[in-house]
Amino acid sequence: MVSNRNQSQAFRVLANPNVSSGKDGSKKDVIMVDPVEAKRLAAKQMERIKAKEKLKKRRQIEAINGAWAMIGLTAGLVIEGQTGKSILTQVYIPIRFFLLTPSQTM
């Protein structure tokens, strides 16, 4: 029997010392845990898992955004080398074209 006190709550686990580590696939032995403490521990563990997944997803999104930025910069530099127009001019011309009304273009 293991007893651990945490924040004035008793946590008791009744374990069988003959229980295997689970590598042989035997799951017939039962470990008894205080249900309230088990729920609290499971909730904490779930929060940690969700936080890790969220961080992993953010990293993937940042990597994708960075890749698109590098592709755009590379394309701009290639076009600048071919046309001789700077990247800012390349961006300004299409914006000016789409923002002007048809009456202003004539």
Q: For residue 3, what are the β-bridge partners?
A: 12
State the pLDDT at residue 33. Answer: 72
What's residue 18's pLDDT? Answer: 53
| pLDDT score at 52 | 96
55 CB-side CA count, 13 A: 6
Average pLDDT of each block of 10 consecutive residues along the chain (106 residues)? 50 51 56 82 94 96 97 92 87 80 57
**Distances from the Cα of 44 to the Cα of 39, 40, 41, 48, 55, angstroms:** 9, 6, 5, 6, 17
Q: Quote the pLDDT of residue 9.
A: 52
* Angle value at C-alpha 56, between 55 and 57, nearest 5 degrees: 90
Give the three-state DSSP class for 104. helix
